[in-house]
Amino acid sequence: MVLLSRLPEAIEVLRKAVMLPLYATPDKAYVNLGMALHQQGDIPGAIRAYQDALKIDPPNVPRALVYLELGRLYMQQGEDSKAREAFAQVKALDPQGTAGAEAAKMMKQLR
């Protein structure tokens, strides 16, 4: 698969982008970095990237979506309490929306 073979290159570019002080949308770069690291199997790295995305203010990516991805990764790691916290944030930020509904569904799968 061509896309997967270019993941290391994409990760390198995204890591550089988030370090640029004048980069217009660093949280978007962090989210994309999180997705790429997840695809590559680096779950701890993906979690760090999503956490860094949440530090950007004002956000360009809806925080509910970032917390949803974080919750999924915590769940995958077996960190149910952290997953529950992340999903609670999603529900608080998007109570009537799709992300909130997805978070509620994911919470039911937790122990």
Query: Interior CA angle at 31 toward 30 and 35, to 5°?
Result: 115
Task: Indicate if the pLDDT at residue 57 is higher than 90.
Answer: yes
Q: Supply the pLDDT for residue 39.
A: 94
CB atoms within 10 A of CB 71: 26
pLDDT tens per residue across span 68-80? 999 999 999 999 9
* CATH code for the domain of 6: 1.25.40.10
Q: Supply the pLDDT for residue 111.
A: 73
Task: Examine the domain organization and report whether 51 and 15 are in the same domain.
Answer: yes
| pLDDT bracket for residue 3 (50, 70, 90) | low
Whole-angstrom Cα distance, residue 80 to residue 99?
Answer: 18
Task: Examine the domain organization and report whether 4 and 57 are in the same domain.
Answer: yes
Task: Indicate if the pLDDT at residue 1 is higher than 70.
Answer: no
Q: What is the average pLDDT across 58-66?
A: 96
Task: Examine the domain organization and report whether 37 and 80 are in the same domain.
Answer: no
Task: Examine the domain organization and report whether 51 and 86 are in the same domain.
Answer: no
CB atoms within 10 A of CB 19: 10
Domain residues for 75? Answer: 63-111
Average pLDDT, the chain: 94
CB of 99 within 8 A of CB of 88?
no
Task: Examine the domain organization and report whether 7 and 48 are in the same domain.
Answer: yes
Task: Indicate if the pLDDT at residue 28 is higher than 90.
Answer: yes
Q: What is the average pLDDT across 94-106?
A: 96
Q: Report how many domains make up the chain.
A: 2
Task: Examine the domain organization and report whether 45 and 68 are in the same domain.
Answer: no
* Predicted TM-score (pTM) of this structure: 0.91
CB of 26 within 8 A of CB of 18?
yes
